[in-house]
Amino acid sequence: MNGAHDMGGMEGFGPINPELESEEPVFHAAWEGRVYGINRALGALGRWNIDKSRYARERQRPVDYLRHSYYENWFTGIHTLLLEAGLVTQEELNSGVPSSVVSEELQAHVLTTEMARQVPDRMSIVLLPDESPPRYAPGDRVLAKNRHPSTHTREPRYLRGHWGVIHEHYGTQLFPDMTSQGIHKGAHLYCVRFEAKELWGESADTRSAVYADLWEEYLESSE
């Protein structure tokens, strides 16, 4: 979807003003850590995946997405995920009072302290085979399709309609446009190089390029 999260090439956000690396804490307030921890704990329940999480954050009204701090966006996304997975009701969120306790089956998946210590080591499945052969090979010229799905996609707007060259075939990864809809399917993934001039016009720096990872569905060739 063409949401506020798709920021590549936008202007007007001002300078970066980075904090000094030696002084920046991991979390800037206790609640940020809680939101991060809640998100990881709920993720362990297996009721959604990373693309659903991203899609939940992206679906906010653009003005809210931009106004919110990073972890406020996560917080909002968690509410959407909980409601859509049927883990809590709107009444429970409003009142703060649980109307029921979760099933034993679900309780068996609740993140324990012991499991939490292993959380950083737990790898998500990102690779899934696609039996079809890859359509492109390194060096092929490809066009990022001008497509505007109303649901989640990882094809940024600033690349659509522009030509690039396949830099590397990354094998097959889960296709986020479908994973975000709950369908797990592998698809060929490519790293594609786009010249700055192709993306930003004649005034662009001639000695820079953007590399982006794009699934086969996002690409077409001149054939």
Partner 1 sequence: MSDSPGEHKHHGHSHGSGEDFTDPPSDIELRVKALESLLVEKGLADPDAIDAVIDTYETKVGPRNGAAVVARAWTEPGFRNWLLKDATAAIASLGYVGAQGEQMRVLENTDKVHNLVVCTLCSCYPWPVLGLPPVWYKSAPYRSRAVSDPRGIIEEFGTHVPETSEVRVWDSTSEMRYLVLPQQPEGTEGWSAEQLVNLVSRNSMIGVEVARSPEAIRSGE
Identify residues 104-133 at the interface with partner 1 (CB under 8 A): 106-107, 110-113, 115-117, 119-124, 126-127
**Look-up of token digits 């990102």:** 126
The footprint of partner 1 on residues 31-60 (CB under 8 A) is 31-38, 40-42, 45, 50, 54, 57
Residue 93's contacts (CB-CB under 8 Å, 6 or more residues apart) are 79, 82, 83
Return the SS3 of 75. Answer: helix
Among candidates 201, 211, 223, 220, which has minimal Cα distance to 145?
Answer: 220
Check residue 92 for interaction with partner 1 (CB under 8 A).
yes
Among residues 130, 136, 164, 173, the one that binds partner 1 under rule CB under 8 A? 173
Check residue 75 for interaction with partner 1 (CB under 8 A).
yes
The footprint of partner 1 on residues 7-26 (CB under 8 A) is 7-11, 13-19, 21-26
CB 55 within 8 A of CB 63: no
Rg from Cα positions in the chain: 20
Among candidates 169, 170, 156, which has minimal Cα distance to 210?
Answer: 156
Cβ distance to partner 1 smaller for residue 23 or 223:
23
Number of residues that bind partner 1 (CB under 8 A): 97
Cβ distance to partner 1 smaller for residue 140 or 156:
156
Check residue 202 for interaction with partner 1 (CB under 8 A).
no
Check residue 150 for interaction with partner 1 (CB under 8 A).
no
Q: Give 99-106 contacts, CB < 8 A, sequence gap 24+.
A: 106/45
